[in-house]
Structure 1
Amino acid sequence: MGGTLDFGGAGTARSSAAGERVYDALRSEILDLALPPDATLSRAELAARFGVSQTPVREALQALEMDGLVMIFPQSRTVVTRIDEVALHETHFLRVSVECEVVRRLARIEGGEAPARARRILAMQNTLVGDTGQMDMFQDLDRSFHRSLFEGVGMGLVHAMVERRQGALARCQRLDLPAKGKMETIVRFHGEILDRIEARDPDGAAGAMRAHLSGSVGRVAELKAQHPAFFTQT
């Protein structure tokens, strides 16, 4: 996410760069569940950990709050939020709408480089299938795969904007990733999406993308039963 955020406004460039570094690291840890819901974040401890003042830490936490990933209690504490089901379904709707249009456009482009680039990412991802010890790398490649599709239609900035809103969905997907056969299913869908793009089949590509993005959301009730502490209680 580096380079996409405006930290500090009138603050120094050094503070802004430090804020982005802290933001990127904490966001990755929250999405990968290394920082689980209800974890408390101390500004002083974070400043010491990253070797920065509390100003960039404050900027990073404010940006994470805008993403819906933390809640700041002034003069008290900052905690990692739980997965909110309303936000989950709203962000899923957004992502499906945008990504289906992305692959439709890609399927209409003749001779584009994006499918080949995505194929290379998919090949790397395929080598990790079944290795739950490599889930971080698998998920990083998953994000790279989808980002490459956006970039293939000149929508890299749109990807960054959508990605900022995907905290609830990304964490739900991470909870689902260790499920038996899940990694294989993701790789299979990625292949089907690329097959349809390369076949110049916009409707088929959109259908494959829609099915791919609906897997974890369709298992929310089951995931919530398995991991109640990760979800808001209604």
Structure 2
Amino acid sequence: MARQSDTQAPPTKARRIFLDLRSKILSRKIDANTQLTLRPIASEYGTGINAASEAIKALAAEGFVTLEGKAGARVITRDLHRIRAEGVLRIAIECEAIRRCAMLADDIQLSVLGGLAEKVDRLFEEGNQLDQCRQADIAFHVTITDFCGVPELRESLIPLLDRLVTLDQTEKRTSEIPGQKHLEVYEGLKSRDPVQAADVMRHHLEHSLSLTLALLYT
């Protein structure tokens, strides 16, 4: 039985279109440079133009398409070198954030992070709420930067996460999605050893980057 606190309203029509199109782009059922036109999308999903437009704008916000006037958008070619570079930048930001967090976070903040880590791993284990799992994953990483004492690290990290966190609704599932291992990151934080915490985070994110590249390019 789902916990009452985890009960969420069903996704909107626009959200359902967005999730399905994102899944098809990531699994390459929709190829790079494909034009996505609003009226055919609305017809395919049985919705109005407004819902289709909202879904396309959400794809653009996450870097999957470029908008082309009022008619629709075009799927972006995935740039392997850019994704790898952004992954390396994310590792640098988050290792510094967790190093500081291990030294500065109080017991209440550590408890918050422990709850977030448990939530990500539980949602992944359940396996039927991958979008919620993806959002919980992002929340865990952002909260570490919230507690590290350097707001600029949070501001630098957030633009990277939507493109790099890959707990997506694709059919290309793997048994090694990093969502299984957030409690290991939390244990690194609990050690209060900044070097140990940074090492655990680096391992976690290097694994995540390898998965991202495998999902998109294999």
**Is the structural similarity TM-score above 0.5?**
yes
Does 1:101 pair with 2:93? no
Unaligned runs of 5+ in 1: 1-23, 227-234
CA deviations on 1:104-161 (whole Å, 9 max, x unpaired) are 1111115253221011122223333433322222212111111211111255674354
Unpaired runs of 5+ residues, structure 2, are 1-13
**TM-score of the two chains, using structure 2 as the length reference:** 0.67
Query: Retained in 1: the 8 A contact 2:101–2:149?
Result: no
- Other-structure match for 1:33: 23
2:147 to 146, 152, 166: 152
Structure 2 counterparts to residues 179-194 of structure 1, below 5 A: 179-180=174-175, 182-183=176-177, 185-188=178-181, 190-194=182-186
Aligned position for 1:120: 115
Among 187, 194, 207, the residue aligned to 2:199: 207
- Counterparts of 1:167-182 in structure 2, within 5 Å, are 167-171=162-166, 174=168, 178-180=173-175, 182=176
Is contact 1:147–1:156 with CA below 8 Å preserved after alignment? no
Inter-partner Cα distance in structure 1 for 2:51 and 2:105: 49
Task: Extract structure 1 runs of 4+ deviating beyond 6 A.
Answer: 44-47
Structure 1 residues 216 and 125 mapped into 2: Cα distance closer, same or farther (>3 Å)?
closer
Equivalent residue runs for 1:72-83 within 5 Å: 72-73=67-68, 77-83=72-78
Structure 1 residues 28 and 90: CA distance shift in structure 2, 3 A: farther
Q: Percent identity?
A: 20
| TM-score, structure 1 normalization | 0.63
The change in CA–CA distance for 1:131 and 1:144 in structure 2 (over 3 A counts) is same
Distance in 2, matches of 1:220 and 1:110, equals: 30
Aligned residue pairs: how many?
195
